[in-house]
Amino acid sequence: MRNEESDKVYSYKDIKNKEGNWELIAGIPYLLTSPSYEHQYVVGELHLELASYFKNRGCKVILSPFDVQLDVNESEDESKIVLQPDLLVVCDTNKITKNRLKGAPDIVIEVLSASTGVRDRNQKYYLYESHGVKEYWIIDPSNRTVEVLGWKDGYFQQRSVFGPEDKLISILYPDLQINLANIFNV
């Protein structure tokens, strides 16, 4: 939900103590609604797969809610771009602080819902692309598809779409293959 005072530009200090989970996109706060069972089932199954794959590879798999600050040149309080992806993978663990990730994750996964789908495909797509997220997965549980976007030379240039009977293959980690029938409970 977008805030009512659309002319005001907010920073993290304005929302950090508010009740609920919030994202900031260009200084505009969005309250995140409670996810559906289907959303959480997909997130949970993916987390299990990713945690198993990355366990001995030096990368961390983090579940939402966990803040990702993309405008790394701003202080924590002055940040105007703070997102909470459903899942993220970070291999440079120096970016992880006590309460946030400062910088772009290696992989971001967003599971679409009615309240976030447009933002995930538009504003957040652009932010992830422009801040160097190497791989972005957009999961549509309603249509049982996963779009995998690979970053190269400043843009998401590679694109693969997988359906419920497919094996998702990561662009960044080609040996990371996930049977989507299990994820979508087919």
Sketch the domain layout of the chain as residue ranges: 33-183
Q: Is residue 40 predicted with pLDDT exceeding 50? A: yes
- The pLDDT tens digits of the residues spanning 78-87 come to 999 999 999 9
Mean pLDDT value of segment 89-115 = 95
Q: In what order do the strands lie in the sheet with 22-25?
A: 28-31, 22-25, 82-83, 67-69, 100-102
Q: Would you say 99 and 16 are in contact if contact means Cβ atoms under 8 Å apart?
A: no
Number of other CB atoms surrounding residue 154 within 10 Å: 9
Query: What local confidence, expressed as pLDDT, does residue 3 receive?
Result: 47
| Coil vs helix vs strand at 42 | helix
> How far does CA 9 lie from the centroid of its chain?
23
- The pLDDT tens digits of the residues spanning 146-179 come to 999 999 999 998 899 999 999 999 999 999 999 9
Q: Which residue has the higher pLDDT, 3 or 118?
A: 118
- The tokens of 78 are what? 């002055």
Q: Would you say 69 and 105 are in contact if contact means Cβ atoms under 8 Å apart?
A: no
Q: Is residue 60 predicted with pLDDT exceeding 70? A: yes
Whether the model clears a pTM of 0.85, i.e. scores above it, the answer is yes
- The tokens of 163 are what? 């359906």
Query: What local confidence, expressed as pLDDT, does residue 136 receive?
Result: 98
Mean pLDDT value of segment 126-142 = 96
Is domain 33-183 annotated with CATH 3.30.1330.60?
A: no
Pairing of strands 87-90, 100-102: unpaired
The b-or-e profile of 38-68 (16+ CB within 10 A means b, else e) is ebebbbebbbebbbebbeeeebbbbbbebbb
Nearest to 86 by CA among 127, 122, 41: 41
| Coil vs helix vs strand at 53 | helix
